[in-house]
Structure 1
Amino acid sequence: MALHLIKLCVGADSVEDLRGWIDFRLGQQRGAGREPRQVHTTRMTPKRAGEIVGTGSLYWVIKGRVQCRQRILDLEPFTDGEGISRCNIVLEPKLVLTRSQPKRPFQGWRYFKEEDVPADLKSGEEGLAVLPAGMRNELADLGLI
């Protein structure tokens, strides 16, 4: 069974906002002649990396709700220029929309067990993906999706 991570997506107002940020950063890397890859740097390194890498995902909490995920390709611990331990979470740049699930604020990342993760939006639910995030969230609150 896969182990996942969950993290607040600070600064993004929607999944579309996050997608735009990812595309912008990848474009910057291409423009600089580097191979594009999406990395999220965090302070703490997950100790259970073997249960996460390749099978786990990073679930993003946007505006108080789990709304999407990205597959975790690798975890790269390093020490920055100031001698502080950090970890690059290397992510597949593809965002997978999930069913909207409320989540209270927390700091940093947390482990997210398979039995707690929201389901991905399935084939046939593509229409939900084009709805504005606020409308999707309201419909989820009402138990309609």
Structure 2
Amino acid sequence: MSKVVHLIKLSAGTEAVEQLQRWQASARAQGPDGYPRHVTRMWPKREAEVLAGGSIYWVIKGLIQCRQRILRLDEVTGGDGIRRCAIVLEPEIVRVAPAPRRPFQGWRYLAEDDAPGDLRPGRETDDTLPPELAGALAEIGVI
């Protein structure tokens, strides 16, 4: 069995997890099968490891705040004729313990051991801390 690896991606322009949820519920973010997808230029070279149970971890306001399980990778061709990768995602967005992350372009691999843990059941509805405070607390290991 393949080792699991995750992807990490900035959610550009997103202010909160709820905004990501609204975007993914829109018709523009969904494929013909109704699943949300993120289209990217690059195809993961570690495809087997990603598809062995990997998730995409979303960075919002400088913090990893949530994840979605990756269901599959679909090839899509844009109107410009360029082949791209559609990362097809499970609709459920799972909140994770906030973890600071510096800006980067594209996506990166995230080892399973380095991925932040899911929030305990019941914590998903806790009041959201301001990103600056959550980042400061995460840096010192409080959350």
* Higher helix fraction (1 or 2): 1
1:12 alignment partner, SS class: coil
Residue type matched to 1:11 in 2?
G
- Root-mean-square deviation (CA, aligned residues, Å) is 2.2
Matches within 5 A, 1:1-145: 1-25=3-27, 35-123=33-121, 126-127=122-123, 129-134=125-130, 136-137=134-135, 139-141=137-139, 143-145=141-143
Deviations 1:74-111 (A, max 9, x none): 01123323222210000001000000000000000111
Decide which moves more: 34-43 or 11-20. 34-43
Residue identity over aligned pairs, in percent, reads 47
Secondary structure in 2 matching 1:16:
helix
Change (3 A) 1:81 1:51: same
Query: In 1, Cα distance between the equivalents of 2:23 and 2:35?
Result: 13
User: Given the two structures, how large is their TM-score scaled by the length of structure 2?
Assistant: 0.84
Q: CA deviation at 1:143?
A: 3.8
- Matched residue of 1:18: which SS? helix
> Deviations for 1:25-61, whole angstroms, at most 9, x for unmatched residues?
38x96xxxx6421111001000111111150000000
Contact 2:38–2:86 (CA<8 Å) still a contact in 1? Answer: yes
State the 1:136 CA deviation: 4.4
TM-score by length of 1: 0.83
Aligned residue pair count:
138
